[in-house]
Structure 1
Amino acid sequence: MMTNLFSIFDPSTNLLNLSLNWMSTIMGIMFIPYTFWLIPNRQFIMWNMIINKLHLEFKTLLGPNNSNGSTFIFISLFSFILFNNLLGLFPYIFTSTSHLTISLSITLSLWLSFMLYGWINNSQHMFIHMIPLGTPSILMPFMVMIETISNIIRPGTLAVRLTANMIAGHLLLTLLSNTSLNLSNYMIIMLIFIQILLLTLEFAVAIIQSYVISILSTLYSNEVN
């Protein structure tokens, strides 16, 4: 019997003292290389279309000052989070993005790189960005404090948003599955139908969250240029 509901998110499965839960973070790579040496199929063509659309959108968000190839880091971020979110929907596969160890590592490293680049190369622009245009002189110190705090908590909000959305759906599916022990056959059929709908919703959430994280990271990087 499960003693703690959140134990399903505890990476405790191991083999010969090697953690198997985090293997899901690199399993997504297994789905990519075959497209480079097999004949292109519909999946490969569809994935290329998605990448091209993302490239154009990220390029628009980054503006004319972006460097060539700067959109690829955000496309890679989208692909990495998307693969991990989708793999977590399969049974007995640990959702690595539902753990703050992974999500906070991704967002914090990106945020630190943006901040270092901005303060080293565009320090005057970073100071100007702290005070919105048209702010009264008496409110300028408060606006600097507010902008500084909002800037510092950005990696935390990105990580918590991704983690919370991944945990919420999985917890709901777990709670519903635990209630099926003492139900009649008709109620079990209805419960299976509800879980299929929730699984479809989780599939959409996995795509949306990877898109949101990559878009917000693009917007944050645009502010330092």
Structure 2
Amino acid sequence: MMTNLFSSFDPSTSMNLALNWISIMMGILILPSMFWVIPSRINFIWIKICVTLSNEFKVILKMKKMKKSSLIFVSLFSLILFNNFLSLFPYIFSSTSHLVLTLTLSLPLWMSFMIYGWINNTIHMLAHLVPQGTPSILMPFMVCIETISNIIRPGTLAIRLTANMIAGHLLLTLMGSTGNKLSLLMINMLIIAQLLLLLLESAVAVIQSYVFSILSTLYSSEVN
């Protein structure tokens, strides 16, 4: 049983089992069954968002045979967005604030792009290591720099999402923990600040899920 908001970062429970990870898919139970049967306004809005994202990803994915894979990145966006919003509720496990989940999403994607690119487009991948217009004397250094930047891509994707989720949750918790020491006027101001910060965190949840999926799409387009 969770005793405070910091417990949302703890994957263990009182039974010493990591049952909190079930929260990744638990939110599907919240959706009403009629959402899947009879199209509603919420359903139409979500379909519109998915179609818009799919068209945007198709522009980045240049090859025709790769454009069908835009549904993978739309699904990735949906999963991250769903978990980001779910973790904003008190006492709900924040799965996207753990590198275990974010690295699980970014590392297999990056490895599949690299394996596909180096096997099928080896010359193209080698050309990416030396940017166009680089002087000959700087080429060895640019190869090292580009190689390192390529290797750390899954880590930067994972850490970016994790850090943004942790920062917002901790700020909300630290501000809320000072409420019992404030006057009535200051409590009202604290509630307003908390609501504004929660609104900001909602925007961050959308932005970070979009950034994660769009960067994954950009990385996949470089191997073509």
Q: What per-residue deviation string (whole Å, max 9, x for no partner) do you get for residues 76-123 of structure 1?
A: 100000000000011111110000110111111111111111111111
- Closer, same or farther: CA 167–130 of 1 in aligned 2, 3 Å: same
Q: Which residue of 1 aligns with 2:54?
A: 55
Alpha-carbon distance in 2 for matches of 1:220, 1:95: 27
Q: Which residue of 1 aligns with 2:202?
A: 203
Secondary structure of residue in 2 paired with 1:13: coil
How many residues align structurally? 221
Q: Which residue of 2 aligns with 1:191?
A: 190
Q: Which residue of 2 aligns with 1:175?
A: 174
Q: Which residue of 1 aligns with 2:101?
A: 102
CA shift for structure 1 position 134: 1.6
CA shift for structure 1 position 29: 3.5
Identity within the alignment, %: 65
Alpha-carbon distance in 2 for matches of 1:11, 1:109: 22
Alpha-carbon distance in 1 for matches of 2:34, 2:116: 35
Contact 1:86 / 1:206 at 8 angstroms: preserved in 2? Answer: yes
Contact 2:8 / 2:94 at 8 angstroms: preserved in 1? Answer: no
Q: Which residue of 1 aligns with 2:117?
A: 118
List aligned pairs for 1:1-225, cutoff 5 A. 8-14=8-14, 16-30=15-29, 34=33, 37-225=36-224
Q: What per-residue deviation string (whole Å, max 9, x for no partner) do you get for residues 135-171 of structure 1?
A: 1111111110000000000011111100000000100
Contact 1:61 / 1:218 at 8 angstroms: preserved in 2? Answer: yes
| Structure 2 gap segments, 5+ residues each | none
Alpha carbon RMSD of aligned pairs, Å?
A: 2.0
Amino acid at match of 2:157: L
TM-score by length of 1: 0.92
| Structure 1 gap segments, 5+ residues each | none
Contact 1:59 / 1:66 at 8 angstroms: preserved in 2? Answer: no
CA shift for structure 1 position 183: 1.1
Alpha-carbon distance in 1 for matches of 2:32, 2:62: 31
CA shift for structure 1 position 193: 1.0
